[in-house]
Copies of this chain bind each other. A is one copy, B any other.
């Protein structure tokens, strides 16, 4: 039984994590803390893994403190820079327990992580590739970070394979061809009723390959969170790991 504490337990994501930890057969809830609660209550005695879902402004401090307290941490908060990651690595180097682990994921949706990976694998074999992301209309940035990441992965894979530019005879366009990220056209749709969706289209003469990931609800992140908790608790991933793809058998 893996003892899991949740930091940010009353937040939109954290409350789902509490439910997921209570619902899984191999995890049990230790402490559920939120803003204002004392982090030092979390110790290696009561907790194997902490799941931290707060806000970028406090997440780094939380993680550094938890590392010092000798527990492993799974982080879902966004906003990590290279500089922040370096501070986490430094803290881990001086951590009290051996093989202590911190895991940070930009995206816990397994479908999205798989789609991103499949796009990278498929990219060398197609003349054309474009990315369409679709989100709820209250999203303030376009395109999504995930779509940019996917486009960059496609661009990189094409270069590595020695592919040139994609065929495109467009002469007149008022903006419909989207944003070009690393040579890949990216389109962003905003539609009431949607949540977070990405579609990657590949084409050769006479054939098309489509990979689509739909996240209808943030509950979709829970299998990824539980997977990360198990992998971190297994002791096989000491130090800092970034990205759920490291925990999938790809």
Q: Which residues of A contact B (CB under 8 A)?
A: 109-112, 114-115, 118, 121-122, 124-130, 132-134, 137-143, 147, 166-180, 185-195, 201-223, 248-250
In the complex, A122→B206 CA distance in Å? Answer: 26
In the complex, A140→B170 CA distance in Å? Answer: 4
Closest 6 CB pairs of A and B: A206-B220, A207-B220, A206-B217, A191-B203, A193-B203, A111-B209
Closest B residue to A144 by beta carbon equals B176
The answer to whether B138 and A192 touch across the interface, beta carbons within 8 angstroms, is: no
The answer to whether A179 and B174 touch across the interface, beta carbons within 8 angstroms, is: yes
Q: How many copies does the complex hold?
A: 4
In the complex, A212→B118 CA distance in Å? Answer: 12
The answer to whether B209 and A114 touch across the interface, beta carbons within 8 angstroms, is: yes
The answer to whether A176 and B187 touch across the interface, beta carbons within 8 angstroms, is: yes
7 contacting pairs across A/B (C-beta < 8 A): A121-B249, A185-B190, A191-B202, A192-B204, A193-B214, A206-B215, A210-B214
Interface-central residue, A111, A127, A141, by most chain B CB under 10 Å? A111
Report whether over half of chain A's contact residues are helix, strand or loop; otherwise say mixed: mixed
In the complex, A217→B192 CA distance in Å? Answer: 12
The answer to whether B167 and A177 touch across the interface, beta carbons within 8 angstroms, is: no
The answer to whether B207 and A169 touch across the interface, beta carbons within 8 angstroms, is: no
The answer to whether A140 and B213 touch across the interface, beta carbons within 8 angstroms, is: no
Interface-central residue, A176, A189, A190, A219, by most chain B CB under 10 Å? A176
Taking the closest CB of chain B, its distance from the CB of A237, in whole angstroms, is 18
A130-B190, A210-B213 known, 11 other contacts, Cβ within 8 Å = A118-B122, A139-B169, A175-B175, A192-B205, A206-B218, A206-B222, A208-B214, A208-B216, A210-B212, A210-B214, A211-B212
The answer to whether A193 and B220 touch across the interface, beta carbons within 8 angstroms, is: yes
Taking the closest CB of chain B, its distance from the CB of A174, in whole angstroms, is 4
The answer to whether B209 and A204 touch across the interface, beta carbons within 8 angstroms, is: no
Closest B residue to A133 by beta carbon equals B176
In the complex, A143→B125 CA distance in Å? Answer: 27
- B134, B172, B190: the one contacting A170 at CB < 8 Å is B190
Taking the closest CB of chain B, its distance from the CB of A92, in whole angstroms, is 28
The answer to whether A202 and B111 touch across the interface, beta carbons within 8 angstroms, is: yes
